[in-house]
Amino acid sequence: MPNEKEAVACDNFVPQKVRSHLYSVIISTEIRTALNHERNEHVLHYRQLIDVERHVEFGTVPYEHARTNQNTQQREHATRFIAVIFSRPPRHDFHEISLHHNNMIPLLLLLLLTTVITADRVYVHPRACETVRHIRLSVGPEPSETTRIVSFASRFSQNTTHIPKGVVYLGTSPLTLETRIVQQEENTHYSLQNIGAKTGNFGNDYYSPYYHHIVLEDLQPNTVYYYRVGLVEDEIEESDNARRRKLVRWPPYNPDGKPCPDALKIHSFRTGSFDKETPLTLALVGDLGQFPHSEDTVARMARDADILDVAILAGDVAYTEFDHRRWDTFLDFFDDYPLFSKVPLQLCPGNHDIDKVAGRHEIFLGYEHRFRMPRVKPAELGVYDGDDTLLNMDAPPYPLPYEWGNAYYSFSYGMAKIIMISAYSSMEPGSTQYTWIQDELQTVDRSKTPWVIAVIHVPLYNTFSLHHHDLQIVAAKEHLEPLFVEYSVNLVFSGHIHAYQRSTNVAFGNITATGPVHITIGAGGRKCEAPYQNETPEDWLEFRDATLYGYGQLELVDRHTAVWQWIPTGNTDGERHGNPIGKSEVTVPPMAFDDSVTIQNQHFL
């Protein structure tokens, strides 16, 4: 390994004159490993880049915003370069370069002094990999304990002369992947034309990768399986007496020097148990995105991968900011933390997953194509013809034309019935989703699934001063809360507010022992920034905090008892600080550090 300090620069973002002095591409896998794993004085870290207005989270690719001056391209390039030099090395999408730092300081200072940081974004590109990648699991059709859906990407879909077909090799030993499952349905992809070179990955057009969703059924309960994914076209058949072996080509050399996932890597997962007395552990997070704190959260979750049965993400998945390339970089990020190739990940949609591009009408394309949940039926996805001024979708119109697919679905796992709800489809009585939710709740068999959990992106109870008038929240509280109370839903998990909150048992604003517990878990990675509505907590409130990032674990111990734990993973500035009250100067200290509580199943009270 070279003894120079390692730093990272962004190809095509550094002026040619600067690159010519610096550009020394390191291809070594060992150096990449060191950059990814060693945390010492030779690896530059960061937590924030401060601009003239506020703290701005600046992250690994495209992990949020590089604030730059839009007036000149060279200042934009210089800002990006300096921000990265004085930051933690990104894990992907950048070239690694060797810096002889002694003679670089004057140049860096010159660039710093000539750079003004303001509020525009620099966009980046996903990995240019020819290999299979973005490998993830979700639970499959019932019985969900013994089915899995394997999802992964292959090449980009701008080339339609030959459409790849996915395959999974499966076995109970990593040495004998004897079962071969070819994808049961056509792969999925989409494209957006004439959206501009700033957000397209092929000129002014965007082409998604081909996505393959393969269902694994008839698995044995409580069993570890090993699997590898590939493409049928990459299989090389060889005769070995009466036996055939199937091999896969090694991935091609990547001239960019960016590490692509190992196409031959063997993954593993454990199926669930049919024993309804077996404890079940869920990880729950909201508003994850691809920011520095997102890395902290996923890395912390990965430490507990062996005890997690299912992970749930309550919407606002990737924060693409209408740049569909960020869906690809988000799943590149998942490749670097391969938690969800082991633990099934279940999603519901958030407002930042709508992804309406300026001048176009398609919605939820990235969310619907890249993931495959145990859907009731294929998605019925319409278009949005409204005003482009609503593009940020912080308070999108309601309802949007999105039914079935990944919008709403349910699954049973162990002693839990989990209902995933779309806040952006109609929730009005008589609507498709409302009728489906009502039917799901009416048919729950509490002798088999004593715990009923609902997940919806928007919170029905909210101690923070944000989003109180969102149409989705008004509709959910008016139409869904009566169902949750009538059918004894135990817990309701939400995101949307970038903070943590836990209620007591509450129904229609009143504390009642038989009401659901509402928990907001929107502090997964997006900037924690949610002032309280009032200094005095509401009567129904148990804990609240908007300074600590994290996720939660819910252990269903038995049919009567569950244990909830909030696990902080870091905060905005590395120090715990006060929570603001509205727009005043009043602050109160955090109260939710390591929040843990035992919850009794109110259905049996």
What CATH number does the domain containing 238 carry? 2.60.40.380
Residues 238 and 284 in one domain: no
Query: Would 364 be classed as within a structural domain?
Result: yes
Query: Would 120 be classed as within a structural domain?
Result: no
Answer yes or no: is pLDDT of 287 > 80: yes
Query: Would 552 be classed as within a structural domain?
Result: yes
pLDDT value, residue 343 = 99
Residues 250 and 109 in one domain: no
pLDDT value, residue 124 = 52
Degrees, nearest 5: CA angle 589-502-509: 110
Residues 298 and 337 in one domain: yes
Tens of pLDDT, residues 238-277: 333 333 333 344 443 333 455 788 989 999 999 999 999 9
Residues 364 and 269 in one domain: no
550 and 23 Cβ atoms separated by less than 8 Å: no
Q: How deeply is 468 buried, as exposed, middle or buried, from its count of CB atoms within 10 A (0-12, 13-18, 19+)?
A: exposed
Residues 79 and 157 in one domain: no
Residues 265 and 281 in one domain: no
Question: Of 223, 257, 274, at which residue does a domain stop?
Answer: 274
Two structure tokens written together for 334: 């998942």
The share of the chain scoring above pLDDT 90, in percent, equals 60
- Phi/psi for 416 (5° steps) reads -120, 140
Query: pTM here?
Result: 0.79
Question: Buried b vs exposed e over 268-299: b needs ≥16 C-beta within 10 Å?
Answer: ebebbbeeeebbbbbbbbbbbbbbbbbbbbbe
Q: What share of the chain is helix, strand, coil (3-state, %, to 5)?
A: 20, 30, 50
Residues 288 and 255 in one domain: no
Question: CB 498: neighbour CB atoms within 10 A?
Answer: 23
Question: Of 245, 274, 303, at which residue does a domain stop?
Answer: 274
The number of C-alpha atoms within 13 Å of 256 and in the hemisphere containing its C-beta is 17
CATH code (residue 408): 3.60.21.10
Query: Would 444 be classed as within a structural domain?
Result: yes
End-to-end C-alpha distance for the chain, whole angstroms? 64
Query: Number of structural domains, the chain?
Result: 3
Q: How deeply is 236 buried, as exposed, middle or buried, from its count of CB atoms within 10 A (0-12, 13-18, 19+)?
A: exposed
Tens of pLDDT, residues 159-193: 767 889 999 999 999 999 999 999 999 999 999 99
Alpha-carbon gap, residue 375 to 185, rounded angstroms: 14
Query: Would 121 be classed as within a structural domain?
Result: no
Residues 201 and 148 in one domain: yes
Residues 108 and 200 in one domain: no
pLDDT value, residue 388 = 66
pLDDT, greater one: 81 or 231: 231
Query: Would 577 be classed as within a structural domain?
Result: yes
pLDDT value, residue 578 = 80
Two structure tokens written together for 3: 């003894």
Q: Which amino acid is at 4?
A: E
Alpha-carbon gap, residue 164 to 182, rounded angstroms: 11
Query: Would 359 be classed as within a structural domain?
Result: yes
Residues 496 and 586 in one domain: yes
Residues 264 and 284 in one domain: no
Residues 517 and 415 in one domain: yes
pLDDT value, residue 97 = 30
Q: What is the DSSP letter of 388?
A: G
Question: Buried b vs exposed e over 358-394: b needs ≥16 C-beta within 10 Å?
Answer: eebebbbbbbbbbbbbbbeeebebeebeeeeeebebe
pLDDT value, residue 441 = 99
Residue 576 pLDDT class (50, 70, 90 cuts): low
547 and 590 Cβ atoms separated by less than 8 Å: yes
- Domain hosting 54: range is 5-113
